Structure 1
Amino acid sequence: MLSFSRLTLALAVVGAAVAAPTKRAVAYYNPNNGGGSEVDIVSAGLGEPMNVIISGLSDSTIISSQSNFLSFAQDIGFSTECLGIHIGAAQQANLGDGNGAVDQLVEYRENYNPGGTCLESLIGGNHLRGWIQNGPSANSGAWFLAVSQEENATENHDIVPNGYNIGRDALVANANAWAAGQSAYSLTVEYVSGLLPAGSDGINHGISQDGQVAVITVTKN
């Protein structure tokens, strides 16, 4: 029979094991396999490509909450909308995780220096919408981002020609530059095909895109 002290120690060890954080095992789940899509929902039959994934294998200080993700987004040149004012309806996405179609969690715009996101609202620039894949059937914790380069306000922030590819690649370039300029984190990027069909079929504004999704993993050194 265990002594009281040994039983207490055994229970403490079990409790510590239960309380320990669980490291996520996958970068992301393919939304298409769970009845979702790598294209978000703007209107019936039309959407924008979610052309960047911040991997679920990234450090929790990057992906575990909206506030953490905002800090990362600010590090790579984005921020919240000008004066907190948003014009236009939220877009939805079905990430195939069992949550169905849900509204975007965030929308961030290019943070000019000087000028901030108010200048982006005026002259255009890069912007992103984001969702977390965290449903009961596919809980990767990954952020799925629809990134695009916009026209100026007089053009109603329509997407520039080739704006989906341009926006994605600009975000990747900023992320690489940020990673190279500090030592706390390491960053890897992989361009993945097969998640998103290339072309303009079903894509908002009829703008063709190359079907490549940039998967970014940020780990702490």
Structure 2
Amino acid sequence: MFTKFLSFVLLAGLARAATLQRRAVDFYNPAANGGSMLDSVGGGLGEPLNVIISGQSSPDVLTTDGVVNWARAVGYSEECFGLHSGDPQTANLGDGNGSTDQLVELRQDYHNTGVGTCWESIVGGNHFRVWKQNGTAANSGALFLAASKEKPVTDHHTIVDDGYDVGRNELVQNALGTKSHGGVTYSTTARNVTGLLAAGATGVNHGIAQDGIVTLLTITIV
């Protein structure tokens, strides 16, 4: 009886290890399973998912609360008083979940996590939306981000010229290195990935061309 029990425990452990190993990837390409590296804003247009937080990042980062705390550490916060105008955007990450709403939208907070995003809503700035790749068909745990820089409210928050590339680059620049918030310290590294996102303006919201580069961030809690 003990031998059978031990065999069961060993097999369960091996199965769990195999599951963990399958998830130990940076991300899965959404296009490989019917998804897209453009989210959807309607009318057949979308914004580029131009930053990915690797599935090999610290697990506590790869949650909604975790990415919000990390965002605060690198200069972004929740929307002004939690208010959002317009419908949430959707994305299909090719993980079997189909099109899902964004988990959260985070805005540049101008060094004030309390009300800084209210200022961003007025004068414009950088912001990003977040989705998680966690369906059974591609369960990497990675977070896919659509980053962009927008104009002031007087210009209806449209995207600035070259705003997708600028938004990505500013987010990455702010994130790199060691940053802390709420008693948690993060170390972030980056590398650029090509071949996921077609360069140009085809299908891109506002007809703004982008360079096709996706930046992969690996975030470790230290």
Question: C-alpha offsets along residues 22-52 of structure 1, whole Å, 9 cap, x if unaligned?
Answer: 3631100000101010000011220000000
Gaps in structure 2 of 5+ consecutive residues: none
Q: Structure 1 residue 178: deviation in Å?
A: 3.9
Cα distance change of structure 1 residues 74 and 169 upon mapping to structure 2, 3 Å threshold: same
Counterparts of 1:1-221 in structure 2, within 5 Å, are 2=2, 10=6, 17=13, 22=20, 24-63=23-62, 65-114=63-112, 116-179=116-179, 184-221=185-222
Question: Take 1:100 and 1:47, find their aligned partners in 2: how far apart are those partners?
Answer: 15
SS at match of 1:138: coil
RMSD of aligned alpha carbons: 2.6
Report if aligned partners of 1:33, 1:96 keep a CA contact under 8 Å in 2. Answer: yes
Partner Cα distance (1:160, 1:153) in 2? 12
C-alpha distance in structure 1 between counterparts of 2:12 and 2:36, whole Å: 39
Q: Which has the larger radius of gyration?
A: 1
The percentage of counterpart residues that share the same residue type is 50
Aligned equivalents of 2:188, 2:103: Cα separation in 1: 24
**Over residues 85-128 of structure 1, what are the superposed CA-to-partner deviations in whole Å (9 max), with x where a residue is unaligned?**
10011111000000111111111110112551000000000000
Q: Check whether the contact 2:73–2:179 (CA below 8 A) recurs between aligned residues.
A: no
- Mapped to 2, the partners of 1:106 and 1:56 lie a distance apart of 18
Superposition deviation, residue 69 in structure 1: 1.2
How many angstroms apart in 2 are the aligned matches of 1:111 and 1:52? 19
Give the whole-Å Cα distance in 2 for the aligned partners of 1:52 and 1:99: 20
Q: What is the CA distance between 1:179 and its match in structure 2?
A: 4.8
The whole-number CA distance in structure 2 between the counterparts of 1:160 and 1:110 is: 15
In structure 2, the residue corresponding to 1:141 is in which secondary structure? Answer: coil
Match of 1:139, SS? Answer: coil
**1-side partners of 2:16 and 2:200: how far apart?**
47
Question: In 1, distance between residues paired with 2:193 and 2:11?
Answer: 40
Q: TM-score, normalised by structure 1?
A: 0.88
